[in-house]
């Protein structure tokens, strides 16, 4: 019984890398729905159906706990899945809450009423589907008041990263940051609301300026997962780690190896 990690493509490998370093004894099964990526331009119903299909595949692989490392899936599908689809003996968790807990400086699992926090102006960079869902703002409102969020839909960035075109990705990051700064000239913090974006974190930071604190998800999700497994040891289990994809295993393996700079071999899901 490994822990499942799902992403529409390869961005979730940033989360996988962090959780394997934080939890070296835990086996993980990573599933990339490469055949249907990117999710960020799809409708919420499409995202829900595709996410359920992939998570079901991870359940079939013996994963009782699945992390949606895809922000778009977390934003557009997670709540609906938890309310109407996830079996009683399974758990599906997203990646927004650990990020917001860090942003608002709340302890893991702090469910006290929302309060004012030190950060007042937040820039959110995410896919179009994540932005339109307003899931980040909804989750933030459970924990903080008085925070102004300006969201920027970063069309094209995921595609460029998945295609390995980092020059185009860098140009798109600069363009999207410029567009955000025209709407919010002085953000206190910036949220990289897509697991692909940590690969471009230095580019975001350079474009935003050193005075803006940039929050990225991978290490925060890893710490949150470690805390969760400590409280729910029955979800940790045992098994073999694996990499699965709905796309071309050879092509996805090559891209993944470039991402993590170590050999990664995917098999067909």
14-47 confidence digits (pLDDT tens): 999 999 999 998 999 999 999 999 898 899 999 9
63 is catalytic: no
Give the integer Cα–Cα distance in Å for 232 and 118.
32
Torsion of CA 159, 160, 163, 166, to 10 degrees: -160
CA distances from 23 to 4, 65, 121, 175 (A): 14, 15, 34, 37
What is the per-residue pLDDT across 96-151, written as a single tens digit (0 to 9) for each?
888 888 888 877 567 788 999 999 999 999 999 999 999 999 989 988 999 999 99
Tokens of 138: 């909804």
Which candidate in 52, 63, 154, 194 is catalytic? 194
List residues bridging with 244 in a β-sheet. Answer: 31, 267
Report the pLDDT value the prediction gives residue 109, as an integer from 0 to 100: 65
Report the pLDDT value the prediction gives residue 101, as an integer from 0 to 100: 86
- By CB neighbour count within 10 A (0-12 exposed, 13-18 middle, 19+ buried), where does 231 fall? exposed
52 is catalytic: no
Give the integer Cα–Cα distance in Å for 156 and 160.
6
Report the pLDDT value the prediction gives residue 237, as an integer from 0 to 100: 65
Other Cβ atoms closer than 10 A to 202? 12
Work out the average pLDDT over 89-99: 91
Report the pLDDT value the prediction gives residue 219, as an integer from 0 to 100: 87
Tell me the percentage of the chain whose pLDDT exceeds 90: 76
Which candidate in 52, 63, 70, 154 is catalytic? 70
């Amino acid at each position: 019984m490994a822990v499942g990690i799902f992403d529409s493509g390869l961005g979730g490998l940033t989360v996988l890398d962090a959780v394997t370093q934080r939890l070296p004894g835990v086996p993980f099964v990573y599933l990339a729905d490469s055949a249907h990526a990117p999710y960020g331009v799809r409708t919420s119903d499409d995202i829900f159906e595709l996410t359920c299909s992939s998570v079901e595949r991870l359940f079939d692989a013996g994963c009782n706990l699945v992390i949606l490392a895809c922000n778009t899936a977390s934003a557009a599908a997670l709540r609906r899945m938890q309310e109407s689809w996830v079996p009683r003996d399974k758990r599906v968790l997203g990646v927004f809450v650990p990020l917001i807990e860090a942003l608002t400086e709340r302890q893991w699992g702090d469910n006290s009423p929302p309060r004012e926090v030190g950060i007042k102006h937040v820039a959110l960079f995410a896919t179009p589907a994540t932005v339109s869902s307003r899931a980040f703002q909804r989750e933030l409102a459970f924990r903080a008041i008085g925070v102004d969020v300006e969201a920027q839909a970063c069309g094209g960035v995921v595609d460029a990263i998945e295609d390995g075109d980092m020059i185009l990705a860098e140009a798109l990051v600069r363009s999207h940051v410029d567009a955000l700064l025209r709407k919010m000239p002085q953000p206190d913090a910036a949220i990289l609301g897509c697991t692909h974006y940590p690969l471009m974190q230095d580019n975001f930071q350079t474009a935003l300026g050193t005075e803006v604190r940039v929050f990225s998800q991978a290490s925060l999700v890893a710490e949150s997962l470690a805390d969760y497994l400590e409280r729910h040891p029955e979800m940790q289990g045992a098994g073999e780690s694996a990499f699965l994809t709905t796309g071309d295993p050879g092509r996805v393996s090559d891209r993944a190896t470039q991402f993590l700079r170590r050999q990664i071999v995917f098999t067909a899901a």
